[in-house]
Amino acid sequence: MTESRKAPRARRLSGLHLLLTYECNYECEHCFVWGGPSQTGTMTLDTIERILEQARALGTIEWIYFEGGEAFLYYDTLVAGVRLARESGFRVGIVSNAYWATSEAEAEKQLQPFVGYIDDLSISSDAYHGCEDGVTCPDIARAAARKLGIPVDFISVAAPEAADVAGSAGKLPSGESAVLFRGRAAEKLASRVAAKPWEQFDRCPWEDLRAPQRVHVDPFGNLHVCQGISIGNLLQRPLPEIMRDYDADEHPIVGPLLAGGPAEIVRRYGLSHEDGYADHCHLCYEARRLLRERFPEVLTPDQMYGIRGQ
């Protein structure tokens, strides 16, 4: 791969999503990152500072997102990190399940420190999320954000059965996305939809793996081109170096994905497999699980594969 082909990839990376913690107050069945109360791994403010410095050095990052797990569980770090990111010149967003919006007054109190510092608050609002005792925390959080002038939107994931509808006709209700059967969804939800022949999963439909526009970085520094597929570690090598040297075709997992999707991972490494899978991500995730011992630096960390981690 020549330098001239590599350079545009780094220029296009515009979003860095910080997984502030793998911990979450919920344990949703569709969660890509296996977030939950017993998960471990939380970013320190020092790590956030290092990441932001590297993001600045890369020169192409416009957006920094704070997500998880549930980022509000580490509220002081979140507030400090958001302010630091904003003061470093980035546009800033937060993704949250709004568990903290138990009343209008509480929601405004929680959001007040972010006024003028964030450009987007994305709230998970669907059948997987909610609050106890019938209180609709996402609605309360959205109203409070609007009152405070914080741009806000909902993220809604449809029931797993809707994946078949979306896959065949693309008729999910506006604003809803289909479940992708990776992470915990592969284990908990994939059996609820009809399996399709494994050979038909011959591409990655969702991520621009060759020239990613946004990547995720976790508390351990792993840079994920898709959750659980690392292309480097920011605490070991600076982001500009990782992006400069990223050769998608030579990457042991991304390479086969680009050549022929999840089905090609199975073929290339001679993996045993079922006849059918729920979707592309289901086959991709199951194939990767089988390859973790072979590519421990790439298929990491344990948290992304449902193992209570470091």
What is the binding site for ligand SF4 (CB under 6 A)?
182, 204, 206-207, 226, 257, 262, 280-281, 284-285
**Closest C-alpha to 180, from 290, 284, 251:** 284
Cβ distance to ligand SF4 smaller for residue 82 or 217? 217
Cβ distance to ligand SF4 smaller for residue 84 or 257? 257
Least Å distance between CB 234 and ligand SF4? 20
Cβ distance to ligand SF4 smaller for residue 162 or 253? 253
Beta strand spans in 26-87 (E): 63-67
Cβ distance to ligand SF4 smaller for residue 143 or 258? 258
**Under a CB-based contact definition with an 8 Å cutoff, are residues 41 and 74 in contact?**
no
Tell me the helix, strand and coil percentages in the chain, rounded to 5: 40, 15, 45
Q: Which phi and psi angles does 279 have, rounded to 5°? A: -165, -175
Distance CA 44, CA 119 (A): 23
Least Å distance between CB 257 and ligand SF4? 6
> Token pair 């390479």 is at which residue?
255
Distance CA 23, CA 38 (A): 7
Cβ distance to ligand SF4 smaller for residue 137 or 179? 179
Helix (H) or strand (E) run with residue 185 in it: helix 184-188
**Under a CB-based contact definition with an 8 Å cutoff, are residues 81 and 113 in contact?**
no
Tokens representing 245 are: 């040297």
Least Å distance between CB 75 and ligand SF4? 30
Sign of CA dihedral 265, 270, 272, 276: positive
Distance CA 55, CA 14 (A): 9
Cβ distance to ligand SF4 smaller for residue 137 or 242? 242
Least Å distance between CB 229 and ligand SF4? 6
Cβ distance to ligand SF4 smaller for residue 142 or 251? 251
Least Å distance between CB 42 and ligand SF4? 24
Helix (H) or strand (E) run with residue 57 in it: helix 45-58
Least Å distance between CB 175 and ligand SF4? 21
Label the pairing between strands 276-277 and 120-124. unpaired
Least Å distance between CB 85 and ligand SF4? 26
Cβ distance to ligand SF4 smaller for residue 69 or 212? 212
Least Å distance between CB 177 and ligand SF4? 12
Cβ distance to ligand SF4 smaller for residue 129 or 251? 251
Assign 236 to helix, strand or coil.
Answer: coil
Distance CA 34, CA 22 (A): 8
Name the DSSP class of 101. Answer: -
Distance CA 232, CA 228 (A): 12
Least Å distance between CB 84 and ligand SF4? 30
